[in-house]
Structure 1
């Protein structure tokens, strides 16, 4: 009889305790604004801002389980953070984002595609939309949809926020769905395909405590939007995670009012939300809360979160951690932490 614990065994033990298990710390460097997706090869992670936020990365990493990571050849595109990354069809797409630059335009609108799990990349040229970071993306009805974002200097009123929405089937040909959506221009909203409709959640219009948003909007086509709720039960925030897992929406942590959050909220309709935990990452204090991480709901029924930040300014705590939470029936947290589900 073997006493070797499998990953599933460890996750079962974790679920019976705090709900979360740290799978790894590195080997990639601590960073914020990274992106990751699951495809047939595993979970592929690209980019982010590391070295206390001073360096935008273009490294590519892949893992089958969140525990062991393999470094792939660096991507041929410029290092970037707060970009878009999608698994669409049999390929992975990376587009937009920003670099760290003292001179020139630090924002991108280039589009890249990998059809071999992040090992090689092809350029699809530049999209017709304004170069931007903090853009929201989702796949919907066979197309990739891009919404919102920002560009320009972060000093004073130099930063410009966007509320246009674009769609593409292949990353090369784009259609403008609306130049001015009903929701206010913003950066860092989260966009998900939920029950056949697009939902856009929260975001920011600046980098101070009073510029975070919490409203939720719905669209069937990306062109016409309806307000679902202006004031959901969770606080306004940015840098949060949102996943559609098994027919439930799970919203995770983020940044609000100069606080790094560690809460989780669940909804079956995008309107009514209830807190299911205030101990994400087995954390119950602002010091270990985080934002600008990236979540992935895997086909094996796990919620993974990668990296993130815990600092009001760029020059602060960054993480290289990968955490896992088992999802009951593929959607609900099996045990979310200090607040029991009911």
Structure 2
């Protein structure tokens, strides 16, 4: 297993920088803000984008928010969001900004409910934006491990004032396996308390440690990116040198060094992202003080690693029926990973106004499912009322590589039920006779004698 890194450009159109943010939005990579201290201190708030990593265009040089570094950027509700940071006036920030196109920016709030901060992390998970840890005071430096979330960027709620992991900055966060992850970082201003731990949460309140230490060395100012099943870390700083290694994991417990014949120069404070099925590494600086604006990428081939992935696809045929008639639901589940899957549970939910005629809406599969193997769950239902109905996503729970359990969901399905032009005289299904119906029937029979 080997990876070949390709340099898209040695010098992008944007200035060399560190502690900027990146996002994937509108089929483009976006680079926002950052810092350069090569000779003089330069703070940036420019916004750049590219479709190929080679050619970069300036969306705006004056977005409204102040030049800053150590902020975060996420994509939520069809907008790019910029959260917090440290500006050129040397102020910690907790303002929130968003844009529909990367050019025109609007301030959601000048002061979010959480304390101003920099070098925190942010992810989007369960339709919420999350803010995790960071530096909330300087001289003396104070780091935090509080967790906050918002659905609209205006109103923020505290999930916990103190997560189970140590307060930190310079960590990395991703979403994988239907969980939020925190990886690495540093717990003091002198770089003595460094981490190579991995923590996960499904609610932002309870955080669980996977393994300490991890297979990679302790580091901070690293970058991370993730696909559905894999997470990657690259580079970072260990207080004596900048790092240029890349590690990959399917469970955040076991990490594999991803070797390459050609690798980007060591760096920290850079950014990483998955875009067009490639892992990208952008910018940063090294221990000697050189700042980068180069762009590198390598192919992301999940099949190169043992990983667990169950895909679930739901169909309803026919999808347009008459009230009182039947249709068939088929759920196809496939082992799309490279590891054996077992202890599979599939659970589906019927919308109201449908009755189950045959089959089951759930199953438990004790047998193993080998890679590329597919099986189906089929059941028949009948519509009792007209309308357009959205069938909820099918849920799955399964065990994969290393005995770890994962969750999965299917697509949603839509069924159109049309009312008959001539109503049936017979009921669509047998209803139990009420007491009064029975009494009336007996009275009619009595007077008929």
Name the TM-score class by shorter chain.
0.7 to 0.9
TM-score (norm 1): 0.83
**Which residue of the other structure, out of 122, 129, 144, is the alignment partner of 2:114?**
129
**What are the Cα deviations for residues 86-141 of structure 1, in whole angstroms up to 9, with x where unaligned?**
0112110001011244xxx521000000011x111000112111100011111111
Q: Aligned partners of 1:278 and 1:237: how far apart in 2?
A: 21
The answer to whether the 8 A contact 1:246-1:331 is kept is no
Matched, 1:239 2:221: yes
Provide the residue aligned with 2:368 in structure 1: none
SS of alignment partner, residue 300 of structure 2: strand
**Which residue of the other structure, out of 284, 297, 302, is the alignment partner of 1:324?**
297
The answer to whether the 8 A contact 1:301-1:331 is kept is no
SS of alignment partner, residue 113 of structure 2: coil
Provide the residue aligned with 1:255 in structure 2: 237
Q: Aligned partners of 2:181 and 2:268: how far apart in 1?
A: 20
Q: Aligned partners of 2:167 and 2:20: how far apart in 1?
A: 22
TM-superposed CA distance for 1:270, in Å, is 0.8
Q: What are the equivalent positions in structure 2 for 1:257-272 lying under 5 Å apart?
A: 257-272=239-254
Provide the residue aligned with 1:57 in structure 2: 44
Provide the residue aligned with 1:282 in structure 2: 263
Flag the 1:331–1:135 CA change in 2: closer, same or farther, 3 A: farther
TM-superposed CA distance for 1:278, in Å, is 6.7
Provide the residue aligned with 1:37 in structure 2: 23
Q: Aligned partners of 1:329 and 1:185: how far apart in 2?
A: 33
TM-score (norm 2): 0.64
Matched, 1:98 2:71: no
Q: Which segments of structure 1 move beyond 6 Å, counting only runs of 4 or more? A: none
Q: What are the equivalent positions in structure 2 for 1:12-51 lying under 5 Å apart?
A: 19-24=4-9, 25-51=11-37
Q: What are the equivalent positions in structure 2 for 1:177-192 lying under 5 Å apart?
A: 177-192=159-174
**Which residue of the other structure, out of 157, 160, 184, is the alignment partner of 1:175?**
157
Q: Which has the higher contact order (CA 8 A, sep 6+)?
A: 1
The answer to whether the 8 A contact 1:72-1:119 is kept is yes
Flag the 1:41–1:245 CA change in 2: closer, same or farther, 3 A: closer
The answer to whether the 8 A contact 1:209-1:258 is kept is no
Q: Aligned partners of 1:136 and 1:143: how far apart in 2?
A: 14
Q: Cα RMSD (Å) of the superposition? A: 2.0
**Which residue of the other structure, out of 271, 283, 286, is the alignment partner of 1:310?**
286
- Equivalent residues, number: 301
**What are the Cα deviations for residues 210-267 of structure 1, in whole angstroms up to 9, with x where unaligned?**
2321111111100111111121111111111111124111111111131111111111
Provide the residue aligned with 1:213 in structure 2: 195
Going by fraction, where is strand more abundant, 1 or 2?
Answer: 2
**Which residue of the other structure, out of 121, 137, 143, is the alignment partner of 2:128?**
143
Q: What are the equivalent positions in structure 2 for 1:192-203 lying under 5 Å apart?
A: 192-203=174-185
Provide the residue aligned with 1:336 in structure 2: none
| Structure 2 unaligned blocks of 5 or more | 306-449
Provide the residue aligned with 1:297 in structure 2: 274
TM-superposed CA distance for 1:41, in Å, is 4.6
**Which residue of the other structure, out of 85, 89, 103, is the alignment partner of 1:119?**
103
Higher Cα Rg: structure 1 or 2? 2
